[in-house]
Amino acid sequence: MVHFAPLFNRRKRHGGASPQVPPDEQLYAIGDIHGRSDLMRQMLDRIDAELAVQKAPRQHIIFLGDYVDRGPDTRGVLEILTALCDCEDIILLAGNHEEFMLAALEDFTEFSSWIWAGGRETLLSYDINVPLKVRPEDLFVAFNEAREKIPAAHIALLRRLKTHHVAGDYAFVHAGIRPGMPIEQQSKRDLLWIRDEFVAHTGRHSHVIVHGHTPVDEPDVRTNRINIDTGAYITGNLTCLVLEGVNRRFLRTEKPIS
């Protein structure tokens, strides 16, 4: 089930103006998916239903990264994204888990660390088994099997992901930004991995930063940032922020009742 959250009170930026996206754009930003292809499909179905009746001249869907690991169906998520990636209205950003996965498939040392950071679930989605009581020889077999079984199209997708996107007064990234630095000077490392320095910062940035990476129970709306990582792989709640003009609202999925 997907439902709308109430409209949020508009937060005032310095100077009294509300942050806004360009007047001809409507943006949908989707938080960390982490292998939950089921929730991803629910959200895309809801967005498709809206786009069928919305009148904005330009509409974009922005994915904030962390498509892989932890949840049960990384393969399904990457298959959906591979089918969407050439659409001009789809913007795919990289997360730290995509970077970790790419490194793991190149370096056995990285692979050994990655499987315990959610990579084991990714491998299982490709029918690659890693025993819970794993021996070094099991890891080596899984490493070679992963390099053979994970489709080249999925690897190519992960390698072409963007690090950020700017629209009007908003900037979209996976993890956050280094406070005090303009977007164009941010390091890839910070955009994909930063946490404490960014989350603790209360001053203004050049843009309102829309991000994920740091799980929260509910969307966290601050004057300088909006966090939409609601821990979908655990909670069943995948969050989408909808921006149009100065207006903000959220779409959420809910874990089915068993």
Cβ atoms of 115 and 139 closer than 8 Å: yes
Percentages (nearest 5) of helix, strand, coil residues in the chain: 35, 20, 45
- Backbone dihedral region for residue 46 (phi beyond 0: left; psi -120 to 50: alpha; all else: beta): alpha
Percent of the chain beyond pLDDT 70? 92
Give the pLDDT confidence score for residue 140 in this predicted structure: 93
Give the pLDDT confidence score for residue 16 in this predicted structure: 55
Using pLDDT thresholds of 50, 70 and 90, give the confidence band for residue 255: low
Give the sign of the dihedral formed by CA 42, CA 43, CA 46, CA 48.
Answer: negative
> Tens of pLDDT along 3-40?
333 333 334 444 457 999 999 899 999 999 999 999 99
d(CA 33, CA 43): 11
Would you list the domain boundaries of the chain? 2-9+17-95+162-253
Grouping H, G, I as helix, E, B as strand and the rest as coil, residue 137 is: helix
CATH topology of domain 2-9+17-95+162-253: Purple Acid Phosphatase; chain A, domain 2 (3.60.21)
Cβ atoms of 68 and 118 closer than 8 Å: yes
Give the helix/strand (H/E) hosting 192: helix 188-193
